[in-house]
Amino acid sequence: MPGYRYRIQVEPLSDRHGAPIDKPTLVFETENHDEILKIVEYLQNREDIDFGKDKTAAFAVGLKLFSETMMEHRKHPLFAPLRDAFKEFMINLKKGAPAKDKAKPADE
């Protein structure tokens, strides 16, 4: 079944010292079974994920690109050590973090 099509663009801006990077922009197209932009927005609005808007967007996009490749090549031996842990990670991500314990400290 066809999925959502995306054009991914990675434009180099500067190196770790702030100097401009003179390399061409990486552009590629890919398909994903999920609507990535909707997922980015959803995660950016979750209170238990407080990475900041840009870091949350990077996390979501990277995760979706990685997980789609992992699903498409699920039998590849490279992914064997990750299967169980990744499944658990995704279940926990979808559930959300438990509410922070609001109990009073013992010395009060």
Domain CATH code at residue 35:
3.10.20.850
Amino acid identity of residue 100, one-letter, is K
Q: Tokens representing 8?
A: 């991914």
Residue 101 falls inside a structural domain: no
Amino acid identity of residue 89, one-letter, is F
**pTM for the predicted model, two decimal places:** 0.83
Residue 86 falls inside a structural domain: yes
Residue 102 falls inside a structural domain: no
User: What is the residue range of 83's domain?
Assistant: 4-95
Residue 30 falls inside a structural domain: yes
- Each residue's pLDDT tens digit, 20-75: 999 999 999 999 999 999 999 999 999 999 999 999 999 999 999 999 999 999 99
